[in-house]
């Protein structure tokens, strides 16, 4: 199994990539805990409404994550993978990318797609 699909770990998923990322592993019998995040509460709330009752999204968690801020020690290394689309460019500087890296353990994976 690919490291980014370990079922005993948590992962972050951004809105643009959510539907496929949430449903494909489940269709393969892989149980992964997802936390949908965004910089703003309004987008997180909109996503929660969008996914409410959608097949395959039971247990999906929603939370605001300000990656521009320095992480608390308990937030470091907690996600085995981060899959994101159009996320880092919305931040003020590239320090946010370092903060994202800190959320991963040494064998974690970051899939980053940025199109502006």
Q: DSSP code of 69?
A: S
Decide if pLDDT at 3 tops 70. no
How much is the pLDDT for 17? 57
At 106 the three-state DSSP class reads coil
Per mean pLDDT, which range of 14-18, 45-49, 55-59 is the poorest? Answer: 14-18
How much is the pLDDT for 5? 32
> pLDDT digit string (tens) for 20-49?
777 777 788 877 777 888 778 888 888 888
Decide if pLDDT at 79 tops 60. yes
8 Å CB contact between 92 and 25 = no
Catalogue all structural domains in the chain, each as residue range(s) with its CATH number: 12-113 (3.40.50.150)
Whole-structure pTM value: 0.69
Secondary structure element (H or E) that encloses residue 38, with its range: strand 33-38
d(CA 86, CA 84): 7
Mean pLDDT of the chain: 74
Q: What percent of the chain has pLDDT over 70?
A: 76
């Amino acid at each position: 199994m690919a490291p980014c699909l370990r079922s005993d770990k948590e992962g972050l998923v951004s809105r643009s990539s959510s539907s496929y990322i949430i449903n494909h592993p489940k269709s393969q019998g892989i149980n992964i805990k997802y936390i949908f995040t965004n910089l703003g509460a309004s987008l997180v709330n909109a996503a929660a409404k969008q996914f409410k009752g959608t097949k395959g999204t039971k247990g999906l968690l929603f939370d605001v994550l300000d990656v521009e801020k320095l992480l608390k020690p308990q937030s470091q290394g907690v996600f085995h993978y981060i899959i994101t689309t159009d996320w880092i460019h919305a931040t003020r500087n590239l320090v946010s990318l370092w903060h994202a890296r800190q959320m991963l353990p040494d064998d974690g994976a970051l899939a980053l797609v940025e199109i502006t």
